[in-house]
Structure formats: structure tokens, C-alpha cells
Amino acid sequence: MTIGIAGLGLIGGSLAKAYKAAGDHTVYGHDLDTSVIEIAKIAGVLDSALTEENLSECDLILVALYTGAAIEYMKAIAPFVSKDCVVVDCCGTKKRVCEEGFKIAEEYGFTYAGGHPMAGTQYSGFKYSRANLFKGASMIIVPARFDDINLTQRIKDLLMPAGFGRITVTTADEHDRMIAFTSQLPHVVSNAFIKSPTAKTHKGFSAGSYKDLTRVAWLNENMWTELFFEDRDYLLFEIETVINSLTEYRDALRDGDREKMIQILREGRIAKEEVDG
């Protein structure tokens, strides 16, 4: 298989390494920082740069760029993409990129699907990428049609060498609604939590709970700002829901209401049991 990857940061770099590790695949890569391309070639991760000349060779093109850049890149490469190729973006929100991606693909005759690999770290950049980043992880796919089983299977087959443990098929709107809760809200909460003045003297007093809650506070503020604003309405709902819940805990403490505290803590424990078993 021949794979083209645009954007060689954490996600794109890990995809390149994963496909190289998975078998005899040819991997081409594109990045605005040409030094990253050269480093990846020296490391044996890339066979060559992804160019207008070899785009037509690709069976799969993965676009691991910010949403706006991903859309512009797909517009730029569209005339050179083979009609047998599948193009999948890796953006963190899906509505905007899918609307544009489906239009571009229809105009130029290739296949496009929205994608979101559910894996990552608090670090960014090619140097933190690794071949096993997606091992066992879920890959979310937004196809143009949900009644084409053969197409869905083809996309799954193209993606599975990266090591994904599960392919989840959904709509762009449902993806963005769920991601506001499962991904974006935790980043907001973590980033807000670490701003407590008490954090500066936490050493010697913190363990797993602190580490779990603050891991994603170390984020790429430019990327996450773009994602938050693209998913603004759904994220606002989740933030307001948390604020309302926190108000209950605060009021119980302020009012000395132990029974209320027991009640809301019990509700949270039961909710966790019901959600995760």
C-alpha cells in the first residue's frame, strides 16, 4: 500500500511510523517544516516527500493538519489525487472539515471520509511521535454514505495497519457533540484546575489524582483554541453543565449541609458505575 501523510506532528508522525512498522508500505510525507521531512527520511519513516508528482500513487492520504489548513490542503491536492484514492482527515472536529471535504471529493471524483484518531499525548511534534500510539485505540470515521458497506470496509482495511483496535462510524454532528464532552471539556477543566495558586506548592502532597487531572493542561493553546471555537455550542453546554454541578458542591460546603454533600457524591458515584460499569 502507498500512503501519503500531510502534517508530520504527533499524529501524522505516529501514523507514518505505524504504517512503516506494519509492513511493506510506501509512505510519503508532507510538512511545511522541510527539516522534519528530512529527519523522517533519515529515520526510515518516510520513503520520500509527498509531492504533486507522487500524489496519484497513493491508495490512502491522511491529512493531519488543523481544520483550516486541512481544507486548504485538500483543495490544493485535489487535481492530483487518483480517483481510486481515499482521503481521510484527522481533525479534532468534523462538521466544517467534512462539509468541505465531501464537496471537494465529489468535484474531483475521489473518496473522502472524515476521521479522528482517538489517541494522543500532552506533547506535540514529530519527536514525540511513536509507532504504537494508535495500538488498540478507536478511530472515528464520518463517511459520505452510511449504506455503502463495501466502502466502509475498504476504509477500515486501509486504516487498520496503523494499529487501531476499533473503527467507530458516526455523523459529523454526533462526533462533535460527543467530543465536546470526552475530549474538549477535560482539557478545559485540567487547564483551569492547574491555575490554582496552591498548585505552586503541590510537590510532596500529590499523587495519581493530581497527575490524572493535570496531564492535559500541558496543551497546544493554538490548536485547542481553534477546536474549542469550532465546537463552541456543544462545548458551552458541557462547561455550563459542570459549572452548575460545581455550584451544588460549593453550596453544600458553604451551608454546612452534610446530607446534601453525601447525596451529590453518591449521585456522582452511581453515574460513574452506570456509565463505565
In this prediction, residue 75 has a pLDDT band, given cuts at 50, 70 and 90, of very high
Burial environment of residue 7 by CB neighbours within 10 A (0 to 12, 13 to 18, 19 or more): buried
pLDDT score, position 67:
94
Domains and CATH numbers, the chain: 2-170 (3.40.50.720), 175-276 (1.10.3660.10)
Tell me: pLDDT of 251 over 90: yes
User: What integer is the mean pLDDT of 89-114?
Assistant: 97
Question: Dihedral sign, CA of 132, 133, 139, 143?
Answer: negative
pLDDT score, position 147:
85
User: What integer is the mean pLDDT of 66-82?
Assistant: 97
Tell me: pLDDT of 198 over 90: yes
Q: Is 205 helix (H, G, I), strand (E, B) or coil?
A: coil
Tell me: pLDDT of 206 over 90: no
User: What integer is the mean pLDDT of 60-77?
Assistant: 97
Cite the DSSP H helix spans in the chain. Answer: 10-22, 34-42, 67-77, 95-108, 149-159, 172-179, 185-193, 208-214, 221-230, 232-254, 258-276
User: What integer is the mean pLDDT of 7-21?
Assistant: 97
User: What integer is the mean pLDDT of 188-212?
Assistant: 93
In this prediction, residue 123 has a pLDDT band, given cuts at 50, 70 and 90, of confident
Cell representation of residue 263:
447525596
Q: What is the pTM of this model?
A: 0.91
Tell me: pLDDT of 122 over 80: no
In this prediction, residue 124 has a pLDDT band, given cuts at 50, 70 and 90, of confident
User: What integer is the mean pLDDT of 97-126?
Assistant: 94
Tell me: pLDDT of 56 over 80: yes
Contact between 59 and 158 (Cβ < 8 Å): yes
With a pLDDT cut of 70, the percent of the chain lying above it is 100
* Closest C-alpha among 81, 35, 79, 47 to residue 62: 81
Q: How far are the Cα atoms of 52, 83, 100, 111, 233 from residue 78, in angstroms, in the given order?
A: 10, 10, 12, 11, 31
Contact between 133 and 9 (Cβ < 8 Å): no
Tell me: pLDDT of 53 over 80: yes
